[in-house]
Structure 1
Amino acid sequence: MAHMSRRAQPVRWKLWLLMVAVLYPLITIGVTLAAPVLEPLPPAGRFALIVPVMVALMVWVVIPLLHRLFGSWLQR
């Protein structure tokens, strides 16, 4: 199916830049807010709880929002 057009992939450096700009504050805020509740846990336990929450936020909230806001810029 060579005649079918493929969707343009985002420019990787722009995608990297957006991810860093969003992940840093998201993780910083998430860890800061969760710290009092998760303090009794060892570091590995804290990460085991925080990482899935951060990934879920990225996949279902942040990335779709970024795609709507910056989609055309990412494709240029």
Structure 2
Amino acid sequence: MSATTATPRVPSRLRFALFVFCAVYPFVTLLAYLIGPLTAEWSLWQRNLLLVPIMVFSMVWVIIPRIQRHCGRWL
């Protein structure tokens, strides 16, 4: 009796990157518009110091898990 084991399909990194781009770009743009008036006098590095942690936490705990959950069959 031979046991056949199906090897799991490896997700496409390119498709995953495209899904992440499609989710992150609008969110970064929205955040830039929202914090722009509040941080108009700040230097670029100071604005990024506010924006980047928001993006990192959003990607790790919201965006990427949702992409994996809802779009996993297309990856």
TM-score by length of 1: 0.81
Q: Please list every run of 5 or more consecutive structure 1 residues that lacks an aligned counterpart in the other structure.
A: none
Identity value in percent:
34
Computing the radius of gyration over CA atoms, which structure comes out larger, 1 or 2?
Answer: 2
- In the TM superposition, 1:25-40 aligns within 5 A as 25-40=26-41
Aligned to 2:19: 18
Amino acid at match of 2:50: L
Amino acid at match of 2:40: E
Cα distance change on mapping 1:8 and 1:48 into 2, 3 Å: farther
Normalized per residue, the structure richer in helix is 1
TM-score by length of 2: 0.82
Q: Please list every run of 5 or more consecutive structure 2 residues that lacks an aligned counterpart in the other structure.
A: 1-5
Q: How many residues align?
A: 70
